[in-house]
Each structure stands twice: as C-alpha cells, then as structure tokens.
Amino acid sequence: MSTKHGSLSPQALKRLQGGELILKGYDNDTIADIVEVTTRTVNNWRRTLGARNDDLRALVRQNGSGRIPRLDDPQKQELKEIIRGGAIVAGYSQERWTSKLVAHLIKKKFGITLAPRSVRE
C-alpha cells in the first residue's frame, strides 16, 4: 500500500496512523477504535514514541527484527529434498506430508523442535 509514508504493510500503516493520532493528542480508547487495535497496543505505541522523542519512525518494524530462522539455508535445502522424495521414502507410513510429520522429521534429522504451525510458515 502506498501512502505519504511510502509503501507499507497494513500493520505498519496502523502503527503510523496510531502514532499520528497520539501526537495529535487523542486518547488511547479513541485511537484504538479508529485504528481497530486494542488500547494496550496503543499504550505500547505511546510508550515507544515517548522513549524516542515522538519520532514516528520508532513505530516502523526494523528489517531483521524478527526471530532468527531455526534452520539454516543448507538444512532448508536438505529438508526440501527429503520432502520431495516423499514421506514413505523418508520412513513414514503414509505418503501425505502433514505439518506434524514435517516437525517430527526436523526434530529427528536436525535436532530442532518446531511446533507444527511453525513448520507451515
């Protein structure tokens, strides 16, 4: 989405809109209703802005600020090859891969525990 703030995700747009409303003096409940977030979220934004001298850039997610991937690139490549080979070839009793089976495979092969929902991502 392209705005006066550039190309933003819907979440980033909400944060910046909320930040602008904070700087204009709106209360948390009003901002939460307008931007459709919780008042706790608005309070977090308010605290972040206060700590960063009301700089709206403080509300933009920084690149690489997410969690570090658990599998490195060679492991991901090896996992892809195993999955392409089929579940039965990998030692499972069914051919259909499920998130639970892939999580089990990752634990068995690489010693890394992931929740099945994380495997889907």
In tens, the pLDDT along 43-63 reads 999 999 999 999 998 898 766
Alpha carbons 31 and 35: distance in angstroms, whole number: 6
58 DSSP assignment: G
Task: Report pLDDT digits (tens) over 2-12.
Answer: 445 456 788 88
| pTM score over 0.85 | no
| Cα–Cα nearest to 44, from 28, 25, 67 | 28
Establish if 67 belongs to a structural domain.
no
Q: Which of 16, 17, 14, 42 is nearest to 28 (CA)?
A: 42
Question: Is 68 domain-assigned?
Answer: no
Please state at what angle helix 28-35 crosses helix 39-51, rounded to 10 degrees.
110
The 3-state DSSP class for residue 6 equals: strand
Answer whether 100's CB lies under 8 Å from 116's CB.
yes
Looking at the structure, tell me whether residues 16 and 52 fall in a common domain. yes
Range of the domain at 30: 2-59
